[in-house]
């Protein structure tokens, strides 16, 4: 800090405090060390200056020299002392010291602040203390939030300082948050009104046409908080007590209302113009239950796959966001009970979403009891629902099959149209290595190692017309849990217009079968089923086409992938062919 800034800062903020240096308004210091010689004291002061601000050095007399930070008001010094001790930034025997104990200043060189007292410390580094939860209302299911009093007249600076001392820790932190929201404060939220906070108050006063003092009056605090809370107008933030779930929490009651209990969730659905939703999480369980819930929630449509997430031994947090919604979940395991909540909010409204989530977090209170796991509230049951909530579904699902022992998958390029990611089933990520639009063949490589049960053996001998064939696939997008096998016949080894490397098949298929392997009766792969062509001309349901195995092998070999060929081994029994198809055929999911 330059000498000019010290002088200006002191003149602006501190001179008015000199005449009132008593009790909590005393101008004091935090003495952190004393050394028996000047050289050592100067060295230590310089070292502290690398991690702390407001470091000063003074002679104590008798050959001793003190290193201190300050000066501060006593109330701020005591709070800052606790913070510095908590963060391990100063020795454990540091204490508050008065100016009268100090003599000539030796550090910083050429500076003498004893005659220019300062009032405000810099905020200590380190993790901010957690915000204490608000005291819950116990007399009603929904409780109105208290309103700020409207003061009739502004205060003198002395009155402002006295009223400031009556602020609670939560009040002081809220003011810092409001100053941060307004763009005037960028330090830690710790409730200590240090130099950074005082300067932000002064900047806010200047920007809003008030006298610049660095101490907010009651009227000014009300004006700051009114602007800060304006973003929440019309949301109906009220304390809601859900005794059945054992949770009390502030909710935007003009946007959501109770819908149903589907354990472990109490669902509050949108009722207003903003498509917001709230889930309360309440169930008995242990760490395994918590981890299971963490995994299951990531399959839900209300938790988009993109976004940070963290799981620890007794809690987890999920944030999912896409172009439609932002979903944020917190859940905690305590005394055999898992409780938490999810806020789902429209994308693009981050200011209000963050504020609402902060209010919900601050007010969240655990009450006795959890939801009964056997007491569902709705009659709707479906394989794609979990506790009444829709599972996140892929944009398109098609079939594929393993072509080598490393897990390389062949599928149709139709499965890869406009995908943000491609997976085997719902989890194993795949990267495209070949996208051959001419043949309709795509090759995909798994990001994590796989050990396929079965790998394609390609048929190199021209098959006989009207011979029996079978197609492995997932016609219903994985609903059945395993690949199915559909039997038919080989109708032709060319397309309808004489196309080479295309085989015409006689069998009925579903859209999800496309990309699946086509087998001969020996279990060798004849080709890959192609999607049914669209357009005005509709072919009979039992007319389908496959790209032949020679084309697949050529595409794979051009990408450096070795494929297997096998001579005839004799016909397989239908059940053996089904097992072979199930071990080789995979579900390929394309996600938005």
Tens of pLDDT, residues 75-101: 888 888 988 888 888 998 899 998 888
Q: What percent of the chain clears pLDDT 90, i.e. is strictly above it?
A: 45
| Structure token digits, residue 482 | 């395993």
Number of domains in the chain: 4
Query: Quick check: 343 and 249 in contact, CB under 8 A?
Result: no
**Does 551 share its domain with 585?**
yes
Q: Report the phi/psi class of residue 36: left, alpha or beta, with left for phi > 0 and alpha for psi in -120 to 50.
A: alpha
| Structure token digits, residue 202 | 């002064």
Domain CATH for 101: 3.30.70.1070
Return the pLDDT at 460: 77
**Does 201 share its domain with 269?**
no
**Does 406 share its domain with 545?**
yes
Domain CATH for 354: 3.40.1000.10
- Among residues 211, 230, 249, which one ends one of the domains? 230
Q: Partners of 14 in the beta sheet? A: none
Omega before 264 cis (within 30°)? yes
Cα 308 to chain centroid distance, Å, stands at 4
- Among residues 198, 230, 262, which one ends one of the domains? 230
Residue 519 — very low, low, confident or very high, per pLDDT cuts 50/70/90?
Answer: very high
Distances (CA, A) of 451 to 9, 241, 402, 584, 589: 69, 51, 10, 11, 19
Mean pLDDT of 194-223: 92
- Beta strands 564-565 and 457-458: pairing type? parallel
Note whether residue 129 is domain-resident: no
**Does 424 share its domain with 526?**
yes
- CA separation for the pair 234, 255 (Å, rounded): 9
- Among residues 214, 230, 246, which one ends one of the domains? 230
Residue 259 phi, psi (nearest 5): -115, -55
- CA separation for the pair 116, 10 (Å, rounded): 6
**Does 242 share its domain with 341?**
yes
**DSSP labels for 540-587?**
PTTEEEEEEHHHHHHHHHHTT---EE-----PPPHHHHHHHHHHHEEE
Residue 497 has pLDDT above 90, yes or no: no
Mean pLDDT of 301-310: 90
**Does 483 share its domain with 583?**
yes
Return the pLDDT at 10: 43
- Beta strands 325-334 and 315-321: pairing type? antiparallel
Q: What is the pTM of this model?
A: 0.53
Q: Name 270's Cβ contacts closer than 8 Å, sequence gap at least 6.
A: 255, 256, 276, 277
Radius of gyration of the chain (CA): 35
Note whether residue 126 is domain-resident: no
Residue 363 — very low, low, confident or very high, per pLDDT cuts 50/70/90?
Answer: very high
Residue 89's domain comprises 3-107
Mean pLDDT of 240-259: 95
Return the pLDDT at 141: 58
Return the pLDDT at 541: 84
Query: Quick check: 416 and 440 in contact, CB under 8 A?
Result: no
Maximal CA-CA distance, the chain: 111
For 267-284, b/e burial (b = at least 16 CB within 10 A) is bbbbeeebebbbbbbbbe
**Does 415 share its domain with 434?**
yes
| Structure token digits, residue 279 | 């889930």
Q: Partners of 588 in the beta sheet? A: 398, 424
Q: Name 157's Cβ contacts closer than 8 Å, sequence gap at least 6.
A: 16, 213, 215
Domain CATH for 212: 1.10.101.10
Note whether residue 498 is domain-resident: yes
Note whether residue 418 is domain-resident: yes
Residue 169 has pLDDT above 50, yes or no: yes
**Does 58 share its domain with 99?**
yes
Return the pLDDT at 4: 37
Return the pLDDT at 380: 52
For 405-425, b/e burial (b = at least 16 CB within 10 A) is eebbbbbbbbbbeebeebbbe
Q: What percent of the chain clears pLDDT 70, i.e. is strictly above it?
A: 85
Residue 589 has pLDDT above 60, yes or no: yes
Q: Would you state the torsion angle of the CA atoms of residues 106, 110, 115, 120, taken in this order, to the nearest 10 degrees?
A: -80
**Does 242 share its domain with 328?**
yes
Domain CATH for 442: 2.40.10.120
The vertex-216 CA angle with 215 and 220, nearest 5°, equals 160
Return the pLDDT at 560: 92
**Does 212 share its domain with 342?**
no
- CA separation for the pair 462, 469 (Å, rounded): 13
- CA separation for the pair 568, 160 (Å, rounded): 95
**Does 226 share its domain with 353?**
no
Note whether residue 121 is domain-resident: no
Residue 6 — very low, low, confident or very high, per pLDDT cuts 50/70/90?
Answer: very low
Is residue 93 classed as helix, strand or coil in its secondary structure? coil
- CA separation for the pair 268, 257 (Å, rounded): 5
**DSSP labels for 285-342?**
--HHHHHHHHHHHTTBTTS-S-S-EEE-SSEEEEEEE-SSEEEEEEEEEETTEEEEEE
Residue 162 — very low, low, confident or very high, per pLDDT cuts 50/70/90?
Answer: confident
Note whether residue 120 is domain-resident: no
| Structure token digits, residue 362 | 């601050």
Return the pLDDT at 419: 85
**Does 216 share its domain with 261?**
no
Query: Quick check: 254 and 272 in contact, CB under 8 A?
Result: yes
Note whether residue 517 is domain-resident: yes
Note whether residue 117 is domain-resident: no
Return the pLDDT at 391: 72
- CA separation for the pair 200, 183 (Å, rounded): 9
Return the pLDDT at 567: 64
């Amino acid at each position: 800090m330059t000498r000019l800034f010290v002088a200006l800062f002191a003149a602006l903020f501190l001179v008015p405090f000199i005449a009132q240096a008593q009790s909590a308004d005393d101008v004091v210091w935090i003495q952190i060390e004393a050394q028996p010689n000047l050289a050592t004291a100067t060295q230590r002061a310089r070292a502290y200056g690398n991690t702390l601000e407001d470091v000063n050095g003074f002679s104590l007399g008798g050959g001793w020299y003190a290193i201190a930070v300050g000066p501060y008001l006593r109330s701020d010094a005591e709070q800052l002392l606790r913070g510095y001790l908590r963060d391990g930034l100063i020795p454990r025997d540091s204490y508050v010291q008065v100016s009268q104990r100090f003599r000539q200043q030796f550090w910083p060189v050429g500076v003498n602040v004893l005659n220019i007292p300062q009032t405000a410390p810099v905020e200590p580094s380190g993790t901010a203390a957690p915000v204490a939860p608000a005291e819950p209302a116990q007399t009603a299911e929904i409780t109105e939030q208290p309103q700020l009093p409207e003061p009739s007249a502004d205060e003198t600076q002395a009155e402002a300082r006295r009223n400031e001392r009556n602020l609670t820790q939560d009040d002081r932190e809220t003011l810092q948050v409001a100053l941060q929201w307004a763009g005037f404060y960028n330090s830690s939220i710790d409730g200590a009104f240090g130099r950074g906070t005082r300067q932000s108050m002064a900047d806010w006063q200047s920007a809003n046409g008030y006298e610049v003092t660095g101490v907010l009056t009651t009227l000014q605090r009300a004006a700051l908080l009114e602007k800060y809370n304006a973003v929440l107008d019309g949301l109906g933030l009220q304390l809601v007590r859900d005794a059945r779930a054992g949770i009390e929490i502030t909710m935007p009651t003009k946007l959501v209302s109770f819908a149903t209990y589907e354990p472990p969730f109490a669902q509050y659905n949108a009722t207003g113009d903003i498509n917001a939703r709230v889930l309360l999480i309440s169930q008995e369980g242990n760490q395994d239950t918590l981890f299971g819930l963490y995994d299951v929630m990531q399959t839900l449509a209300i938790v988009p796959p993109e976004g940070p997430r963290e799981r620890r031994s007794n809690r987890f947090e999920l944030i999912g966001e896409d172009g439609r919604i932002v979903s944020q979940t917190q859940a905690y395991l305590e005394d055999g009970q898992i409780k938490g909540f999810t806020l789902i909010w429209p994308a693009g409204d981050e200011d209000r979403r963050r504020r609402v989530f902060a209010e919900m977090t601050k007010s969240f209170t655990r009450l006795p009891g959890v939801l009964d796991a056997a007491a569902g509230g709705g009659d709707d049951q479906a394989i794609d629902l979990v506790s009444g909530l829709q599972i996140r579904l892929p944009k398109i699902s098609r079939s594929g099959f393993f072509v080598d022992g490393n897990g390389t998958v062949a599928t149709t390029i139709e499965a890869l149209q406009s995908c943000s990611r491609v997976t085997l089933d719902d989890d194993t990520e795949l990267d495209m290595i070949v996208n051959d639009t001419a043949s309709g063949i795509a090759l995909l490589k798994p990001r994590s190692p796989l050990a396929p049960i079965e790998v394609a053996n390609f048929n190199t001998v021209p098959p006989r017309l009207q011979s029996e064939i079978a197609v492995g696939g997932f016609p219903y997008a994985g609903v059945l849990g395993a690949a199915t096998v559909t039997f038919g016949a080989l109708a032709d080894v060319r397309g309808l217009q004489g196309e080479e490397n295309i085989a015409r098949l006689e069998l009925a298929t579903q859209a999800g079968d496309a990309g699946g392997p086509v087998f001969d009766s020996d279990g060798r792969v004849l080709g890959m089923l192609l999607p049914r062509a669209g357009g005005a001309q509709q072919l009979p349901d039992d007319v389908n086409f496959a790209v032949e195995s020679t084309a697949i092998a050529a595409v794979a070999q051009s990408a450096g992938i070795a494929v297997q060929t096998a001579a005839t081994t004799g016909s397989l029994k239908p059940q053996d062919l089904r097992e072979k198809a199930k071990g080789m055929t995979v579900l390929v999911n394309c996600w938005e």
